[in-house]
Amino acid sequence: MTTSIALIRADGATARAHAEGRHAWWLYVEEILGHQRTPFFWCEPDGLTAATTTAVVSTTENLDHTAAERLHEWTEQGGTLLIVGAPGTLGERFGLDIVTTLGDSHVTFASNEIWTQRPPVALHALGGVGYRLESGTDSLGTWADGSVAIIRRSVGNGVLLALGPDLWQSVVRIQQGFPVHADGEPAQDGTAPIDDGLLKAEDGMALSLEDDRAIPPGEPELGDDYEHTYPPPSAVPVFHEPHADHWRSVLHQLLWESTASRGKVLPWLSYWPAGIPAIAHMSHDADINDVEDGLAALVAFAEADVKVTWCQVHPGGYGRDLHRAITLAGHENALHYNAMDDSDLATWGWPQMRAQYAWAQAVTGEEDIVSNKNHYTRWEGWTEFYSWCEQLGIKIDQSRGPSKQGTVGFPFGTAHVTFPMGDLDAGNRLMNVLNLPLHTQDLAWAGHVAVRDVVLEAALAHHGVAHFLYHGPHLRKRPLTRASCLEVAGLARERGMQWWTSREINSWERARRTVDVDVEQREGSWHVRARSGAHLTQAAILLPVPDGSVVEEFELDGRGSLDTVVRHGRQFLELAVDLEPGVLAWTVRIGASPAGR
């Protein structure tokens, strides 16, 4: 029997939400577990057996009393039940006392051994309920109003975990924001004047400019005389923590703990090849299309030894020679879709984007352009833009990022490449274009250089991508910006990060999404299996080390190698293997010894 998470079916709830014109946020559970390649299956409450250790109720809408009774019975018999959001009929059955309903608030995480990666700040949550703390119950987190956000309680032989915050809605809203139809509210301290009359991704931000930012470590508080000029006169508050990634990590930590405490091994597939903790990405936007700027950028990137994703912008173009030089230097040709109204094609719309895509193919000679970034991070509406990407063959988009000094860092809460949730007219399906977040534009010009390490460290802690954007004019004319480009290249490498283009990131993520891993525990051995639909060199299957154990020795049957790594603050065995289409299997024998021996 392999270890797999049971997701309780919610088809009725989804149909009802869509009939009422509401988003079915809980559908995003498949994307969060799918990105991590955590094994899961959908089932009805009746289908749960003692062979399953952990079940997740992603929504309780449409869960009737019979189902609640069955889930209670299964939990009493030894299962761990995780309820996300309002408990519905399960609230009555498990005796949960809701004291508050929240639309937009924050959750502070308690010190508890369950958290191997405890969020260091109060996490922004959208939607949820707060509970009353009762005896025999652990509080794992608290809402800003003092009510309990996360409850753990023994139920018979099993465990109830009630996560009051709507984790799914929080992740989607933080990553994708609200639909953009008007300017957003600027920051009160003047560091993020997003009310600039231009519609862009930040105008829909769900994170708060007032509550979710901090001055980078070691920098002085903002002076009263601060003005938003270039370069920044001082460091300003930035989005220093990726809130959506923390929510993902919270879910993973609960699932690992609930399975490991039962002696079960819940495997997953590392986000990157074996031994690589995170990735760095550099992009270049060809704004103005000045040949001297482009040449200066080519030289800087060669010195930095980084292959960049070079986003080509209409109108103009560099001319044939420079376009050829960019391609010959090994950089990726991408689109920099322009909707800034400076040419007859440069407006927001599908035909305009389609025309600019064809233009970029023509001037670069690159037929297969897979990546885009919107000039000035322009954005309108919610996910219609992603449907244009799907139609064009843009597989990965990098438009969601900062355009102001005070929005650098993680304004959309993530360092991970993920598929966005589509709008209601798409039935909330996942859109077939990866979101590659952007974290800062030109260091020492558009963003204070102090944000560099903030971005690198958070991307490293969450095992995502740190994305730095540069522009030729600043690489040519601003010595500090040019120096920052070379410095960040080296600093990322020192941290074990590799520089990948967006094409490489896209290919890797889509290949790993074809992989399913599982582990069967028999006679003291772990029988690991991977079914892959693609070739992946040095893929890394991660196996949680059982609770209360340290692994002192291990051996492997089958082609590959074993090591130990720490991911999300937890120790894992890392099985490094070359995958190919088909099924491969390995046997891992571990000699575990009790901790502290």
List of residues contacting Zn ion (CB under 5 A): 285, 287, 375
Q: Which is nearer to Zn ion, 38 or 398 (CB)?
A: 398
Residue 113 to residue 408: CA distance in whole angstroms: 32
Least Å from the CB of residue 286 to Zn ion? 8
- In whole angstroms, what is the distance from residue 465 CA to residue 481 CA? 21
Picking from 558, 533, 554, 532, the residue whose alpha carbon sits closest to that of residue 543 is 554
> Closer CB to Zn ion, residue 307 or residue 375?
375
Both tokens assigned to 9: 């079916």
Nearer to Zn ion, 131 or 470 (CB): 470
Across 181-223, the runs of DSSP E, i.e. the strands, are none
Name the residue nearer to Zn ion (CB basis): 287 or 332: 287
CB of 502 to Zn ion, least distance (A): 15
How distant, in Å, are the alpha carbons of 215, 235, 449, 567 from that of 454? 10, 12, 10, 19
**In angstroms, what is the minimal distance from the CB of 197 to Zn ion?**
17
Q: CB 374 → Zn ion: shortest distance, Å?
A: 8
Shortest Å distance, C-beta 316 to Zn ion: 12
Compute the distance between CA of residue 198 and CA of residue 183 in angstroms, rounded to an integer. Answer: 7
If the CB atoms of residues 340 and 491 are measured against Zn ion, the closer one turns out to be 340
d(CA 435, CA 422) in angstroms, rounded, equals 12
What tokens appear for 551 in the block? 């692994």
Dist CA 76 CA 98 (whole Å): 22
Work out the number of other CB atoms within 10 angstroms of the CB of residue 31: 18
Question: Least distance from C-beta 182 to Zn ion, angstroms?
Answer: 22
Least separation, in Å, of the C-beta of 292 and Zn ion?
17
Task: State the DSSP string of 455-469.
Answer: HHHHHHHHT-EEEEE
Q: How far apart are CA 267 and CA 40, in angstroms?
A: 11
Residue with tokens 């292959």: 307
Amino acid in the structure at residue 283: S
Q: Token pair for residue 210?
A: 């007032």
Least distance CB 391 / Zn ion (angstroms): 23
> Which one, 285 or 332, has the nearer CB to Zn ion?
285
The residue among 117 and 398 lying less far from Zn ion, judged by its C-beta, is 398
The conformational region for residue 24 under phi > 0 = left, psi -120 to 50 = alpha, else beta, is beta
Q: How far is the CB of 299 from Zn ion (least distance, A)?
A: 20
Smallest separation, CB 289 to Zn ion (Å): 11
Find how far residue 35's CA is from the centre of its chain.
Answer: 9
Q: How far is the CB of 284 from Zn ion (least distance, A)?
A: 10
Least spacing, CB of residue 272 vs Zn ion, in Å:
28
Q: Which is nearer to Zn ion, 244 or 282 (CB)?
A: 282
Pairing of strands 40-43, 371-374: unpaired
Q: Are 207 and 411 in contact (CB under 8 A)?
A: yes
Q: Which one, 339 or 539, has the nearer CB to Zn ion?
A: 339
- Cβ-based nearer residue to Zn ion, 323 or 474: 474
- Residue 110 token pair: 């308690």
Q: At closest approach, how far in Å is the CB of 477 from Zn ion?
A: 16
Cα dihedral sign, 213-216-220-225: negative
Q: If you search the block for the tokens 């990060």, which residue do you land on?
A: 497
In terms of CB distance, is 175 or 403 closer to Zn ion? 403
- Pair 533, 582: CB distance under 8 Å: no
Report the nearest approach of Zn ion to the CB of residue 323 (Å).
Answer: 17
Cβ atoms 553, 238 nearer than 8 A: no
Of 203 and 287, which has the nearer Cβ to Zn ion?
Answer: 287
* Strand partners of residue 501: none
Give the whole-angstrom CA distance, residue 177 versus residue 411: 10
Nearer Cβ to Zn ion (375/416)? 375
Q: Which residues of 395-411 are buried (b: 16+ CB within 10 A; e: fewer)?
A: bbbbbbbbbbbbbbbbb
- The single-letter DSSP state of residue 559 is S
Which CB atom, from 213 or from 474, has the smaller least distance to Zn ion?
Answer: 474
- Whole-angstrom distance, CA of residue 125 vs CA of residue 166: 7
